[in-house]
Structure 1
């Protein structure tokens, strides 16, 4: 007496589709057919299907299950390898849960890096977007300094954020001049912000290109003119540079 495909699937709490898939990939041998043409599974098939299901529940990929049955496969080595993979998965899941807890605590958007979650309510949409881009191209150390800097905002930054596209030349010049000492001070306090792309894991060129695209897209024409003017002012000798000479 044997079992049909449906009966075998019910016995092992699996599905007919899964049984057929195991046949297709060679994990489960095809049974003989009865005189009526239907498959007839025996106890050997039942045991093998239970083994497959058990190993799959333990996290063994289907591609590796066949190897576990080979004569030259070291069971202990296979178990230790699987345990290491599961440990890495658990660590990844725990890290994700910790990040979600931080995001929930600060009621921050899910796409915000957890390091910036505490700041999320004080940041503008532009700042959110810029930090998201920066988090993909800057090193962890540089991003840490950026988060510290953003956590201590200066009023001129809010002025830049609110600057309309039709701001006149005088307004642009005045804002750039007011931002200049702020940037000089922050470069001393946060030295990595002087050249944030220098230690980018993607390389300085790729990081600079991403920064340029982001700033150009997220800032209006007047804001960009302020930043350009600020760069020009920063290129000029600073009082501290003159004193050192």
Structure 2
């Protein structure tokens, strides 16, 4: 009567290859069973259970070098180690989920680079009648802001959201976009800068930048890269932005220097 499984049958039962079982034997993870009268090693319930344990721990990410000590440890040590493995697996699951979500966002345009909240702002711009060119520039500005000045990205989004809920702000923004075609010395630029400044100062809390951001040595240069985005396309926009910044500083707002 045959009592036990061959190495091939045991490997298939556990879900590994014969080569893997032999590797476990070489590492001392599983003792080799005795040979029967026919010269075959027969795996009985004890060896099979040990193989299942080793296979399960290996699949969970426990290094094989740690498995022997773990399996031979007392119940308390075993429980603590399993909790650590559980924590590592949870982190791995979260990482893989994040990767899956990023891949999913690649099929959804702006969402590959921006959070849903920022995408909603871009959709709102289109609904309010801003043209594709303006929306495209704002998309680039949001991406740059998120990449270069993440410390104030949420502040930037909140400012945009509130301005889009204010018809006067929307009108001022549209005039600012139209100003691209104005002469840099056009007196309307100073008038527009003053109006924009007044609107911004109406809610000073939104203009406050985190102290930790202001204290970073590269804060001004990173801020400038975002704030000066596309300025080279219009000298009038450069003048408009500089006037607004100067007005804000004069009013006591800490705008990062150029």
Q: TM-score range by the shorter chain?
A: 0.5 to 0.7
Residues 29 and 45, structure 1, Cα contact 8 Å, conserved in 2: yes
Instruction: Please state if 1:77 is matched with 2:80.
Output: yes
Q: Deviation string for 1:190-237 (max 9, x for gaps)?
A: 52424x35333x953333322222334444342333212322333446
Residues 30 and 50, structure 2, Cα contact 8 Å, conserved in 1: no
Residues 156 and 179, structure 1, Cα contact 8 Å, conserved in 2: no
Residue of structure 2 equivalent to 1:189: 203
Structure 1 CA distance for aligned equivalents of residues 11 and 217 of structure 2: 57
Give the direction of change, closer, same or farther, for the CA distance of 1:197–1:174 in structure 2 (3 Å limit).
Answer: farther
Residues 133 and 210, structure 1, Cα contact 8 Å, conserved in 2: no
Which protein is bigger by CA-based radius of gyration?
A: 2
Residue of structure 1 equivalent to 2:224: 212
Compute the displacement of 1:150 (Å).
0.7
Instruction: Please state if 1:199 is matched with 2:202.
Output: no
- Give structure 1 stretches of 5+ with no counterpart: 33-39, 239-245
- What is the TM-score with the length of structure 2 in the denominator? 0.58
Give the direction of change, closer, same or farther, for the CA distance of 1:66–1:30 in structure 2 (3 Å limit).
Answer: closer
Residues 112 and 132, structure 1, Cα contact 8 Å, conserved in 2: yes
Residue of structure 2 equivalent to 1:116: 118
Residues 113 and 135, structure 1, Cα contact 8 Å, conserved in 2: no
For residue 227 of structure 1, the aligned residue among 226, 241, 245 is 241
Structure 2 CA distance for aligned equivalents of residues 161 and 66 of structure 1: 69
Structure 1 CA distance for aligned equivalents of residues 190 and 58 of structure 2: 62
Q: Deviation string for 1:29-65 (max 9, x for gaps)?
A: 6979xxxxxxx895576544422332355xx323364
Compute the displacement of 1:87 (Å).
5.5
User: The residue matched to 1:170 in structure 2 has which SS?
Assistant: coil
Residue of structure 1 equivalent to 2:144: 133
Compute the displacement of 1:167 (Å).
4.4
Structure 1 CA distance for aligned equivalents of residues 22 and 122 of structure 2: 47
Residues 68 and 78, structure 1, Cα contact 8 Å, conserved in 2: yes
Q: Deviation string for 1:111-133 (max 9, x for gaps)?
A: 21233232231352332233333
- What is the TM-score with the length of structure 1 in the denominator? 0.60
Residue of structure 1 equivalent to 2:173: 157
Q: Which runs of 4+ in 1 moved over 6 A?
A: 29-32
Structure 1 CA distance for aligned equivalents of residues 21 and 175 of structure 2: 65
Equivalent residue pairs, number: 216
Compute the displacement of 1:77 (Å).
1.6
Give the direction of change, closer, same or farther, for the CA distance of 1:232–1:79 in structure 2 (3 Å limit).
Answer: same
Residue of structure 2 equivalent to 1:174: 188
